[in-house]
Amino acid sequence: MNAEQEHERLTEAMLKLDDGLNRIAQKYGSAVQFNYEDPVTFGAGHFVFYPVDNTRSRFAIEEQYTGTDWSDDERVPTSWTWVAEREVRDQNGAYIWGVEREGETRSKDVQTLLTEAEQWARRVQNRAAQREQFRAPVRNSHWGVTLLVDGRYQEGTTGRDVYESQEVH
């Protein structure tokens, strides 16, 4: 394979990754947010997923290059390193990033990386659903119990009050 063909193959893998990550972000958008970041200046990676409701965990992907550096505008990644991290306390009580899973994926195996990212997003979505499902009703002495109706908590003096106030479709 000549240099031009190799560059084209690497570019296709890069585009496949970007498209796939955006599909994951759309599919799990209620649970995760997707950011493009710069690991050199401020970010955890080039592509980073965070849970929507907190930033205590993340899935970060960083591009890796062969035979070039960050200053080359024509660079294309030959592989990606990835890490699933969660905030944990160190011995002094400060929060640091602890690694849950990590790996490196070559360009020809980009689908493996997309599978890892989607599994992480699915776990975040499942945890969010569990928290919502098992959240205890909130008591309010003025209004009574806050009830879960159609995925939203609503206040009412009784379940019937909330039920009767719902529009039937």
Partnered with residue 49 across adjacent β-strands are 34, 59
- Return the closest-CA partner of residue 87 out of 42, 55, 119, 43: 55
Residue 69 CB contacts under 8 Å (≥ 6 apart), including other chains: 75
- Return the closest-CA partner of residue 61 out of 92, 38, 42, 41: 38
Percent of the chain past pLDDT 70, that is, above it, reads 79
For residue range 26-79, list pLDDT tens digits in order.
999 999 999 999 998 888 999 999 999 888 999 999 999 998 877 888 899 999
The dihedrals phi and psi of 139, each to the nearest 5 degrees, come to -90, 140
CB half-sphere exposure, 147, CA atoms < 13 A: 15
- Residues 113 and 148 both lie in one domain: no
If you average pLDDT over residues 97-117, what whole number do you get?
97
- Residues 149 and 85 both lie in one domain: no
* Encoded amino acid at 131, one letter: R
- Residues 29 and 44 both lie in one domain: yes
Residue showing tokens 């050199």: 40
- Residues 83 and 14 both lie in one domain: yes
The confidence score (pLDDT) of residue 42 equals 84
- Residues 141 and 123 both lie in one domain: no
Rounded CA-CA distance 120/67 in Å is 31
User: What is the chain's mean pLDDT, rounded?
Assistant: 84
When comparing pLDDT for 124 and 161, which is higher?
124
Instruction: Catalogue the E-assigned strands of 37-140.
Output: 47-51, 57-64, 79-89, 95-106, 139-140
> Residue 79, Cβ neighbours under 10 Å: how many?
19
Degrees (nearest 5) of the Cα angle 42, 44, 51? Answer: 115
The confidence score (pLDDT) of residue 152 equals 53
SS3 assignment, position 145: strand
When comparing pLDDT for 104 and 1, which is higher?
104
- Residues 99 and 85 both lie in one domain: yes
| Domain extent at residue 156 | 137-169
SS3 assignment, position 62: strand
- Residues 59 and 32 both lie in one domain: yes
Structure tokens at 168: 């039937």
When comparing pLDDT for 132 and 113, which is higher?
113
